[in-house]
Amino acid sequence: MLSKRQIIVLKAIIDAYSQSEEPIGSKSILKLTGLEASSATIRNDMAKLEKLDLIKKMHSSSGRVPTEAGYRFYINYILPKNGGIIDSGLSEAENEKVSEIFQSPYLALDEIVNRSTELLAELTNYVAISLGPDAYHYHLAGFRFVPVTSRQVMLVLVTEEGTVETQIYRLPDSVSMEALEDMANIINRDLIGLSLPSVLVRLKSNYMSYFDESIRRLLYEGSIIEDLLKKMDASRVFVKGKANLYNHLYQSDAYQQVENLNRLFANPNLLDTLIDPGDQGIQVKVGKDMQADGLNHLSIMATNFVGGNNDQQTISVAILGPENMSYLRMAQLFQGVRLQLNHYIDSYYKNDKEEG
């Protein structure tokens, strides 16, 4: 059990270290906190925090730096007590930048998410990540093939959630444009409104007898629709500000983590697992909490937004940075963007429902 003064000392060490990246001594703590105590008393408090593995001594310096356990204590027990500061922490200029993104009512949702991600990266100077809804949660609104050349077609798939995806394919000699148009007509006649996985299942289980041999072969050997779904799933990932974190890693001689980060950013499923902020609020994972190989001394702050049909469309947003990031400052910036984005998502789906 920490005393009130020891909690103040720990907070001061973490806040100061996030700014200077230098060990923090007792005299600095007294100057930062204004505590009415002697340097010897503060050193005793630091010894207690060190014994609890919340801080550690660096080399021969008398100062201390936070440990992973110290950051975890800060996040779980100190940061939640600053809720009012977090909600009102954006400057006027920052509020204007956030508001500018959401001025236009005509932008598609994925563009809003993309712009929000760019702004988070700019404001935090770390990596900002957004994951749009899983492609397999979308519902079909329209499907067609458009001829491009004699042997090339463009597949156009429209979802009820407002997403339009296209992909160009080169047709095998055995597949005619007429056969593709017959398949598109059946899909638009019978399968509109179904989830995209259900469309695939219905095609393969209930409609094979309607298609000629060339279309059946396409569906059995690897559906072009499945290819498009994979493309949609990959395009739902927005990662901005990678150079911010890479520069930090190079400066701290942790450049070997860059390769691990590149693998992470290229894999939506890994990002899903890493972010996973839970049901509500802002969640933070530090170091080993992320359960990801090669991401030592990094932290991630994440949240979810839910909307759409039956609240099934989930957007995850996260900040990835060093474990000595200023968590209070990051939470302030994160919350400012988060509240605006949440409001926009609610309005987006409300307007979409009214127009429908």
pLDDT, tens only, 45-104? 999 999 999 999 877 667 899 999 999 899 888 888 776 666 666 778 888 887 887 776
The token pair that represents 48 in the structure block: 């207690």
Helix (H/G/I), strand (E/B), else coil: 148: coil
Tally of CB atoms within 10 A around 299:
25
- Tokens 């949702």, residue? 109
Give the pLDDT confidence score for residue 227 in this predicted structure: 78
Which H helix or E strand runs over 300? Answer: strand 298-307
Mean pLDDT of all residues in 172-184 = 89
| Distance between CA atoms of residues 2 and 70, nearest Å | 12
Report whether pLDDT(162) > 60: yes
- Whole-prediction pTM value? 0.74
Cα end-to-end span (Å), the chain: 57
> Computed from CA positions of residues 192, 196, 198, 202, in that sequence, does the dihedral angle turn out positive or negative?
positive
Is-contact 99 340, C-beta < 8 A?
A: yes
Lowest mean pLDDT among 9-13, 66-70, 113-117, 125-129: 113-117
Mean pLDDT of the residues in the chain? 83
Give the pLDDT confidence score for residue 197 in this predicted structure: 86
Lowest mean pLDDT among 111-115, 130-134, 178-182, 307-311: 307-311
CATH of 85-126+241-352, one of 3.40.50.2000, 3.30.450.40, 3.40.50.2300, 3.40.605.10: 3.30.450.40
The proportion of the chain whose per-residue pLDDT surpasses 70, expressed as a percent, equals 87
Q: Measuring CA to CA, how many Å separate 69 from each of 29, 115, 256?
A: 20, 34, 23
Topology (CATH level 3) of domain 4-66: Arc Repressor Mutant, subunit A (1.10.10)
Report whether pLDDT(346) > 80: no
Give the pLDDT confidence score for residue 261 in this predicted structure: 87
| CB within 8 Å of 4: residues ≥ 6 apart | none
Lowest mean pLDDT among 8-22, 29-43, 289-303: 289-303
Q: Count H helices, E strands: the chain?
A: 15, 10
Q: Report DSSP state, residue 139.
A: B
| Distance between CA atoms of residues 130 and 118, nearest Å | 10
Check residues 326 and 291 and name the one with the higher pLDDT. 326
Give the pLDDT confidence score for residue 237 in this predicted structure: 84
Lowest mean pLDDT among 159-173, 210-224, 233-247: 210-224
Give the pLDDT confidence score for residue 86 in this predicted structure: 67
Residue in 300, 302, 294 with CA at minimum distance from that of residue 321: 300
Q: Provide the pLDDT confidence category of residue 193 given band limits of 50, 70 and 90.
A: very high
Architecture category of domain 136-234 in CATH: 2-Layer Sandwich (3.30)
Q: Report DSSP state, residue 195.
A: B
Report whether pLDDT(310) > 70: no
Rg of the chain's alpha carbons, rounded to an integer? 26
Give the pLDDT confidence score for residue 348 in this predicted structure: 64
The token pair that represents 230 in the structure block: 């994979």
Which H helix or E strand runs over 109? Answer: helix 109-124
Give the pLDDT confidence score for residue 105 in this predicted structure: 63
Report whether pLDDT(194) > 90: yes
For CATH 3.30.390.60, list the domain ranges present in the chain: 136-234
For CATH 1.10.10.10, list the domain ranges present in the chain: 4-66
Give the pLDDT confidence score for residue 146 in this predicted structure: 94
Residue 196 burial class via C-beta count within 10 angstroms: exposed 0-12, middle 13-18, buried 19 and up:
buried
Q: Which of 182-191, 334-343, 345-354 has the highest mean pLDDT?
A: 182-191
| pLDDT tens by residue, 243-273 | 988 887 877 767 677 888 888 888 877 888 8
For CATH 3.30.450.40, list the domain ranges present in the chain: 85-126+241-352
Check residues 43 and 99 and name the one with the higher pLDDT. 43
Q: Provide the pLDDT confidence category of residue 314 given band limits of 50, 70 and 90.
A: confident
| Distance between CA atoms of residues 317 and 319, nearest Å | 7
Q: Measuring CA to CA, how many Å separate 172 from each of 17, 152, 210, 212, 338?
A: 62, 9, 20, 14, 47
